């Protein structure tokens, strides 16, 4: 859990990276080798140096790395894999790139746009191609085989198409029936099944490539481990006795711990094989998000609430391990409380490589960059945070940024969501929804309103994924969902969509208390239908998007106040982590009325910080 002990910095949520003086010199020989190691689904409570968890794996090599590193206590990521990797590669938050959820090999999931400038492209332009670069392991930002409706790059060679000079690994997750010992490996665009244990293969491939490199290099080792599928690793790589543990589904935490130990063993082999060159290499080790819920809920010590795990914007989902070691680290063994983020990898790599991001020939002046270098903390961990507020988010699905409706619910004033689709009906029915400003949690936080119906008309609310097709129940009109969803969540209970509602004497209908829909794998739309009893014909309203399945934003201040907002017609949560590290006491549980004047002021600051950031979405 995160604690914020430093004084509040005067540096705001700036739109560009801070570029300190060059610590390394400008000639090629002085530029360090840079090795970024990413563990998949490894939370801070699983590593001994953070002092949070108790039932944890043995990780002597990572523990030793922490001792020669600066350890960041308050590093944030996105709650799931793909958005974090997009943040790392671009230095930009997900609401700018459109990557807000796990990229899947389906057409409706957009991949990372080729227009984004990623790490190897920045290094090429900023160092006159002095660096060799490669990515080993998992990419998970584009499709392997499906087309992409946004026009993003696809195919097995997508990593090199984005700019990396070399890639060996996997484009997506290892998915069953494949396994860690039988998985689709890509080697510079050529895909074939590999039977080498995936964690081992990532190290092998890097070490082999490194022998061929005679220039400074930037390499990413993006391990699949300890992500699912959970399994028993090769026996020589771990110390966990799995002989009587049953299946991974029955004992997920035990098998997960074995996988983490196997990862640690292979990282130890990596470091040993690098020999004396390790001391001349800047090593950045981090996790991409928190520990999975299946593992968290089997913790005998209940370190985290099970919902406060991977996939959530709680600390258990986004507070990730981050260690940095190497020639520029003079504060080895120190623990830094500064608020940093996965986006900061971009500017940090730039500074280590002597790249000037303020040069418009290197990075466009009109493009927002959220990244801030944390190189200064490698020599002085007590510096104030590089930003006044940290930010994270999760939204579904990966869409073109302009198509998000998030912005409609983040202002200080009550605003209505835009009409995003229309049935072409001429009957004049109009459906809209208004919600309270971000940061408020009151009964009736959103109201669904219908206008233009006949007085006292019987009205049915239709809801579901937008898959328009004729529906004979409504006279063959095009409706958003032929199979109406029966339940819709409200603050006060459940609204049955099969029950007719009645408009007032002027043909209007208001339904207060709407928050968000039950989970389903697509954007959720609503329409209203009215039946003219005299002619037995139906009238259909426009369709509106009520909100997305997941759309959570979170901001936190150095004082440890944290606001979580479900911004599309949803509610908010407000925590003070120094006194409540497990996020159990929502200060907004009873609305804003119970807040102290000081807490109310802190809430207002966080609301403003979130609004100011999101309105810069381009």
Tokens at 541, concatenated: 């309203």
Domain boundary among 388, 403, 418: 403
Q: How far apart are CA 156 and CA 439, in angstroms?
A: 43
Spacing of C-alpha 243 from chain mean position: 36
Please indicate, yes or no, if residue 12 is contained in any of the structural domains: no
Which residue bears the tokens 């026009």?
Answer: 151
CB atoms within 10 A of CB 275: 8
Nearest to 503 by CA among 429, 589, 564, 437: 429
Please indicate, yes or no, if residue 5 is contained in any of the structural domains: no
| pTM exceeds cut of 0.95 | no
Nearest to 142 by CA among 98, 175, 200, 184: 98
User: Do 542 and 574 share a domain, yes or no?
Assistant: yes
CA angle 75, 80, 83 (to 5 degrees): 80
The number of residues making up the chain comes to: 618
Helices (H), 323-450: 344-352
Please indicate, yes or no, if residue 1 is contained in any of the structural domains: no
Domain count, the chain: 2
Please indicate, yes or no, if residue 17 is contained in any of the structural domains: no
Residue 217 parent element (H or E): strand 217-222
Phi, psi of 64 (to 5 degrees): -65, -35
CATH code of the domain in which 63 resides: 3.40.720.10
Nearest to 35 by CA among 342, 353, 381: 353
User: Do 411 and 399 share a domain, yes or no?
Assistant: no
Tokens at 189, concatenated: 């665009």
Please indicate, yes or no, if residue 389 is contained in any of the structural domains: yes
Tokens at 184, concatenated: 């689709």
Transcribe 117-154 into DSSP letters: --HHHHHHHHHTS--EEEEEEE--SSBSSS--TT---B
Tokens at 4, concatenated: 């914020």
User: Do 299 and 426 share a domain, yes or no?
Assistant: no
pLDDT computed for residue 617 by the predictor: 65
User: Do 445 and 588 share a domain, yes or no?
Assistant: yes
Structural domain of residue 613, as residue ranges?
A: 407-618
Sequence-ordered strand ranges (E) for 227-301: 281-287
Helix-, strand-, coil-residue percentages of the chain, each rounded to 5: 25, 25, 55
User: Do 585 and 604 share a domain, yes or no?
Assistant: yes
Residue pair 449/475 in contact (Cβ under 8 Å)? The answer is no
User: Do 215 and 283 share a domain, yes or no?
Assistant: yes
User: Do 389 and 437 share a domain, yes or no?
Assistant: no
Tokens at 121, concatenated: 């492209």
Nearest to 412 by CA among 384, 438, 386, 380: 438
Helix (H, G, I), strand (E, B) or coil at 389: strand
Helices (H) and strands (E) in the chain, counts: 11, 28
Nearest to 352 by CA among 586, 3, 25, 8: 25
Please indicate, yes or no, if residue 19 is contained in any of the structural domains: no
User: Do 415 and 375 share a domain, yes or no?
Assistant: no
Domain boundary among 372, 403, 434: 403
Residue 253 parent element (H or E): helix 252-274
pLDDT computed for residue 526 by the predictor: 73
Mean pLDDT per block of 10 residues along the chain (618 residues) reads: 34 32 49 97 98 97 98 98 97 90 82 95 98 98 86 94 98 96 98 98 98 96 98 98 93 98 98 97 98 97 95 97 96 97 98 98 96 98 97 72 34 38 54 55 58 88 65 62 51 57 89 51 66 76 62 92 75 91 91 88 91 74
User: What DSSP state is assigned to residue 292?
Assistant: -
Domain boundary among 403, 429, 463: 403
Of the CA atoms within 13 Å of residue 462, those in its CB half-sphere come to 25
User: Do 590 and 446 share a domain, yes or no?
Assistant: yes
Please indicate, yes or no, if residue 505 is contained in any of the structural domains: yes
> 70 - beta bridge partners?
324
pLDDT computed for residue 150 by the predictor: 78
pLDDT computed for residue 571 by the predictor: 66
pLDDT computed for residue 146 by the predictor: 80
Whole-number Cα distances in Å, 526 to 293, 434, 464, 484, 587: 32, 14, 7, 10, 32
pLDDT computed for residue 290 by the predictor: 98
Say if strands 33-39 and 281-287 run parallel, antiparallel, or are unpaired. Answer: parallel
User: Do 484 and 550 share a domain, yes or no?
Assistant: yes
Query: 477 burial class (0-12, 13-18, 19+ CB within 10 angstroms)?
Result: buried
Q: How far apart are CA 238 and CA 47, in angstroms?
A: 15
What are the contacts of 361-366 at 24+ separation with CB within 8 A?
Answer: 361/125, 362/122, 362/125, 362/126, 363/117, 363/122, 363/126, 364/117
User: Do 384 and 479 share a domain, yes or no?
Assistant: no
Assess whether the previous peptide bond of 229 is cis (omega < 30° from 0): yes
User: Do 272 and 361 share a domain, yes or no?
Assistant: yes
Q: How far apart are CA 397 and CA 93, in angstroms?
A: 15
| Packing angle of the helix pair 119-127, 344-352 (nearest 10 deg) | 30
Please indicate, yes or no, if residue 397 is contained in any of the structural domains: yes
């Amino acid at each position: 859990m995160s604690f914020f002990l430093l004084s509040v910095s005067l540096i705001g949520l700036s739109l560009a990276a801070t570029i300190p003086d060059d610590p390394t010199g400008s000639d090629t020989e002085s530029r360090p080798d840079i090795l970024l190691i990413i563990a998949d689904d490894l939370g801070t409570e699983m590593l001994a140096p953070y002092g949070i968890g108790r039932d944890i794996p043995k990780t002597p090599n990572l523990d030793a790395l922490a001792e020669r590193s600066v350890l960041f206590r308050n590093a944030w990521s996105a709650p799931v894999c793909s958005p974090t990797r997009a943040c790392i590669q671009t230095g930009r938050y997900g609401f700018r790139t459109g990557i807000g959820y796990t990229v899947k090999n389906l057409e409706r999931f957009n991949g990372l746009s080729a227009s984004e400038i990623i790490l190897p492209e920045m290094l090429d332009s900023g160092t006159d191609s002095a660096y060799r670069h490669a990515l080993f392991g998992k990419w998970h930002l584009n499709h392997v085989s499906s087309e992409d409706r946004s026009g993003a790059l696809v195919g097995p060679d997508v990593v090199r198409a984005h700019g990396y000079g070399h890639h060996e690994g996997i484009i997506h997750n290892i998915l069953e029936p494949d396994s860690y010992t039988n998985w689709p490996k890509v080697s510079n665009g050529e895909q074939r099944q590999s039977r080498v244990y995936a964690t081992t293969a990532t190290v092998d491939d890097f070490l082999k490539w490194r022998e061929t490199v005679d220039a400074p290099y930037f390499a990413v080792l993006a391990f699949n481990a300890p992500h699912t599928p959970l399994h028993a690793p090769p026996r020589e790589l771990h110390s966990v006795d799995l002989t009587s543990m049953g299946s991974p589904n029955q004992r997920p935490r035990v098998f997960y711990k074995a996988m983490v130990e196997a990862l640690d063993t292979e990282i130890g082999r990596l470091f040993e094989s690098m020999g004396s060159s390790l001391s001349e290499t800047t090593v950045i080790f981090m996790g991409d998000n928190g520990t999975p819920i299946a593992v968290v809920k089997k913790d005998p010590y209940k370190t985290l609430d099970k919902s406060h795990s991977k996939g959530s914007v709680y600390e258990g989902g986004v507070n990730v391990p981050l260690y940095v070691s190497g020639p520029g680290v003079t504060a080895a063994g120190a623990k830094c409380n500064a608020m940093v983020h996965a986006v900061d990898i971009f500017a940090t790599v730039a500074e280590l490589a002597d790249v000037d991001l303020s040069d418009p020939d290197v990075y466009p002046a009109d493009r927002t960059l959220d990244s801030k270098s944390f190189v200064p903390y490698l020599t002085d961990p007590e510096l104030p945070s590089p930003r006044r507020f940290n930010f994270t988010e999760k939204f579904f699905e990966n869409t073109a940024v302009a198509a998000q409706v998030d912005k409609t619910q983040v202002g200080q004033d009550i605003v209505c969501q835009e009409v995003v689709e229309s049935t072409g009906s001429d009957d004049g029915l109009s459906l809209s929804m208004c919600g309270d400003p971000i940061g408020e949690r009151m009964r009736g936080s959103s109201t669904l309103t219908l206008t233009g119906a006949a007085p006292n008309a019987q009205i049915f609310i239709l809801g579901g994924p937008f898959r328009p097709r004729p529906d004979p129940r409504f006279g063959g009109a095009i409706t958003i969902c032929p199979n109406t969803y029966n339940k819709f969540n409200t603050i006060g209970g459940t609204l049955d969509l099969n029950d007719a509602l009645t408009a007032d004497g002027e043909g209007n209908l208001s339904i207060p208390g709407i928050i968000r829909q039950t989970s389903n794998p697509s954007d959720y739309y609503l329409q209203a239908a009215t039946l003219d009893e005299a002619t037995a014909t139906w009238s259909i309203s426009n369709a509106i998007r009520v909100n997305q399945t997941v759309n959570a934003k979170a901001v936190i201040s150095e004082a440890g106040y944290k606001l979580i907002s479900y911004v599309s017609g949803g509610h908010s949560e407000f925590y003070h982590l120094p006194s409540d590290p497990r996020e159990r006491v929502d200060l907004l549980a009873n609305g804003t009325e119970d807040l102290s004047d000081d807490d109310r002021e802190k809430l207002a600051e966080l609301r403003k910080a979130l609004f100011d950031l999101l309105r810069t979405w381009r």
